[in-house]
Amino acid sequence: MKGRRSHAAALLLALGCRGGSAPPATTTSALPDGMAARAGSQLVSAATVERVAAARGLAPRAAADLAVADALFAEGARASLPLGSAGSIERAAAARGLLEQLLREAGQAGAPTQAELSELVRERWVDVDRPAAARTTHAVVLNDKPERDAAARAEGEKLALAVRGATTDEELLELAKAFKADGFEVRAEALPFVTPDGRIFQRAEAGLRARPGSFDVDFARAANALQTPGELGPLTKSGFGYHVIRLDERMPSAIVPAQELASLLAPDVLARRAGKARRELLDKLRPASAVQLERSVDDLLGRVKVAP
């Protein structure tokens, strides 16, 4: 009965109370085995009363009263709702109950394992296992031909001299884009944060967000060797060519201690366990349950308005 105050229950309550008539008197009579009460056509089992008592910490009598109230709401809804509506609400409530049961069973499976925690840490590293990082602006003389390495380096040194006087990241970009390398392409751009091992992330509305891919490790290490915003590093070689790197901002590390990870990530672990159980259950049910769609389903769905 936990969650009884959901939208569906609220609807049943309103419908069950429609009319303002006094509730019928309670009578005592014989019931089928295992049943504790009857409300109209609804039977309330002793097992249901037991679950309510355990979930809400109530005495059996109080739990029985709640179970009977639910049954009365359902009876009122069946009498008041259009044909078929009560069944839809019941199916939604049953589905929600099943999902809550899967979540409870996920918790009963025990504390998060190291493998489960490690998987989440890999995915959420930017929040729980982030090394110090550097945000930079750079200009690079591009070269992918080893035989032209000496010439590319010479142009890189010229580029470094050309941008030496830059005092802002915008000025470095302007000077680099105006530089004409002899036989090489020059690229200049502002970059997101990069960790020493090449992982990248950026600021977002909700905080920090990891980005897919990674940067060249030689570049990443050179960027993180810079300590003072505005500092220009020495000419750096990477797999892409020769870089001039300006440090724009340093980001301190954010590493959650191992002893705190389990409690922090436990809700996500349980949600994943329950989600996996749900998918496995659906895979088992689909072959055994025929699903029929309205022939004009595509046309009907095309009329659905999705809120922005």
Local confidence band at 8 (pLDDT 50, 70, 90 cut-offs): very low
> What's the average model confidence in pLDDT over 293-300?
61
Q: Which amino acid is at 115?
A: A
- Quote the tokens at residue 225: 């060797």
Question: Do residue 214 and residue 295 come from a single domain?
Answer: no
Question: Do residue 234 and residue 162 come from a single domain?
Answer: yes
pTM check: above 0.85: no
At residue 262, φ and ψ (nearest 5 deg) are: -60, -50
Question: Do residue 153 and residue 286 come from a single domain?
Answer: no
Question: Do residue 145 and residue 212 come from a single domain?
Answer: yes
On whether residue 237 sits in a domain, the answer given is yes
Local confidence band at 38 (pLDDT 50, 70, 90 cut-offs): confident
Question: Do residue 198 and residue 142 come from a single domain?
Answer: yes
Q: Which of 159, 13, 24 is nearest to 76 (CA)?
A: 13
- Quote the tokens at residue 299: 């046309």
Considering the chain, what is the average pLDDT of its residues?
Answer: 84
The pLDDT tens digits for 163-174 are 999 999 999 999
On whether residue 236 sits in a domain, the answer given is yes
On whether residue 165 sits in a domain, the answer given is yes
In this structure, of 79-83, 123-127, 301-305, the range with the lowest mean pLDDT score is 301-305
Helix (H) or strand (E) holding 243: strand 241-251
Residue 284, SS3 per DSSP? helix
Output the CA–CA distances (angstroms, integers) from residue 73 to 5, 11, 66, 186, in the order listed: 12, 9, 11, 73
Q: What is the pLDDT of residue 293?
A: 58
Q: What is the pLDDT of residue 291?
A: 60
Question: Do residue 70 and residue 163 come from a single domain?
Answer: no
Q: What total number of domains does the chain contain?
A: 3
Question: Do residue 139 and residue 123 come from a single domain?
Answer: no
At residue 142, φ and ψ (nearest 5 deg) are: -75, 135
Q: What is the pLDDT of residue 188?
A: 97
The pLDDT tens digits for 148-157 are 999 999 999 9
Q: What is the pLDDT of residue 27?
A: 63
Q: The domain that contains 159 carries what CATH number? A: 3.10.50.40
Question: Do residue 187 and residue 199 come from a single domain?
Answer: yes
Q: Which domain holds residue 76?
A: 1-18+29-93
Question: Do residue 211 and residue 157 come from a single domain?
Answer: yes
Question: Do residue 78 and residue 136 come from a single domain?
Answer: no
The pLDDT tens digits for 45-78 are 888 888 888 888 888 888 888 888 887 777 776 7
Q: Which residue has the higher pLDDT, 101 or 30?
A: 101
On whether residue 308 sits in a domain, the answer given is no
Largest distance between two CA atoms of the chain: 101
Asked if the model's pLDDT at residue 302 lies above 70, the reply is no
Q: Which residue has the higher pLDDT, 61 or 219?
A: 219
Rounded to the nearest 5 degrees, what angle is found at the Cα of 293, between the Cα atoms of 287 and 297?
A: 145
The pLDDT tens digits for 99-132 are 888 889 988 999 999 999 999 999 999 999 999 9
On whether residue 247 sits in a domain, the answer given is yes
Q: What is the pLDDT of residue 132?
A: 97
Question: Do residue 71 and residue 124 come from a single domain?
Answer: no
Question: Do residue 117 and residue 137 come from a single domain?
Answer: no
